[in-house]
Amino acid sequence: MSPTPTVSATYTTLLPADTAWLSGVRRLTSARLRHWGLGSGTVEDAVLIADELFANAVQHGSASARDEVSLSLALGHGELRIAIADTSSLTPRCRQPSEDEECGRGLLLIEAVADKWGTEPVGCGKATWAVLVLWPCPPPQQQEPQTAAWPR
């Protein structure tokens, strides 16, 4: 586990609602979180979440590639919040895809990785967000030296 950063920081950018930007979302998220000093496990989870939220917004929340999607990262109070805002007011729902389906598992992945997730109205659309709780590393424990007890 990585230590909880003591800084609060935010980052927001607008991106075209186009799946061609999926790798860009992953790179932007990874670079920003590493800049903030987050550990590799947290960065990997956040990149997965951002990728899935962006893919869902493009597929279900935008009318065309001319639409824009907002990626927001917020760090503070021991949490990392990843949000994607789009122009749709439709609330995403987890579904149970069949074994043969190639898609439909994004929110299930987010639900498995994130500590919490949800949606909120923004402007003329919605933001879908997920939170990762950043657990601080415990301080090293000072243990009393143990003495061996010899049987009598």
Q: How far is Cα of residue 3 from the mean position of the Cα atoms in its chain?
A: 17
Separation CA 44–CA 77 (nearest Å) = 20
CATH number of the structural domain spanning residue 97: 3.30.565.10
Write out the two tokens for 1: 């586990």
Residue 138, in any domain of the structure: no
**76 found inside a domain:** yes
Report which of residues 4 and 136 the model is more confident about.
Answer: 136
Q: Using 50, 70 and 90 to split pLDDT, how confident is the model at 101?
A: low
Task: Please state, in angstroms and rounded to a whole number, the distance separating the CA atoms of residues 15 and 83.
Answer: 13
pLDDT digits 0-9 by tens, 104-113: 556 788 988 9
pLDDT of 124: 85
Residue 104 belongs to what domain range? 9-133
Residue 2 domain flag: no
Sheet with 68-76: strands ordered across: 9-16, 68-76, 79-86, 125-133, 116-122
**Which of 61-75, 80-94, 99-113, 119-133 is the least confident region?**
99-113
Number of domains present in the structure of the chain: 1
